[in-house]
Amino acid sequence: QQPVQSPQAVILREGEDAVINCSSSKALYSVHWYRQKHGEAPVFLMILLKGGEQKGHDKISASFNEKKQQSSLYLTASQLSYSGTYFCGTERSSNQGGKLIFGQGTELSVKP
């Protein structure tokens, strides 16, 4: 029941855009996105609740299609600071005590 992320890795030049996808085989209540830099803790980016919403955070935004059980993270005009591993974390329902099942991660490298 682990969500599947794609691509596994992506290399960008500064200023380029990227999309990271997260797919689940189960119905979802919410999708969380986190970024983890090497040797550091995961850091929260955003959370999307079922309802097909789209959220933005500076030049990073995300969408959630609950019917397809998919979420996508959009990174526009990438900066060097965007490098890291991106994880989606999924919740099956609102009464699971915050239990997140994480995808395998997508490694993003932004080069000058």
Under rule CB under 8 A, residue 94 binds other proteins: yes
Asked if 87 touches other proteins (CB under 8 A), the answer is yes
- CB of 5 vs other proteins, minimal distance in Å: 11
Neighbours of 11 (CB within 10 A): 12
Is 33 in contact with 46 (CB distance < 8 Å)?
yes
Number of H helices, E strands in the chain: 0, 11
Binding flag, residue 41, other proteins (CB under 8 A): yes
DSSP-derived 3-state class of residue 81: helix
Of the candidate residues 13, 25, 67, 98, the single one contacting other proteins (CB under 8 A): 98
84 contributes a contact to other proteins by CB under 8 A: no
The reply to whether 51 sits near other proteins by the rule CB under 8 A is no
The residue assigned the tokens 């999307």 is: 48
Question: Total residues contacting other proteins (rule CB under 8 A)?
Answer: 20
**Which tokens sit at 14?**
């500064």
x/- binding map, residues 1-40, to other proteins, per CB under 8 A? -------------------------------x---x---x
| Site for other proteins, rule CB under 8 A | 32, 36, 40-44, 47, 85, 87, 94, 96-102, 104-105
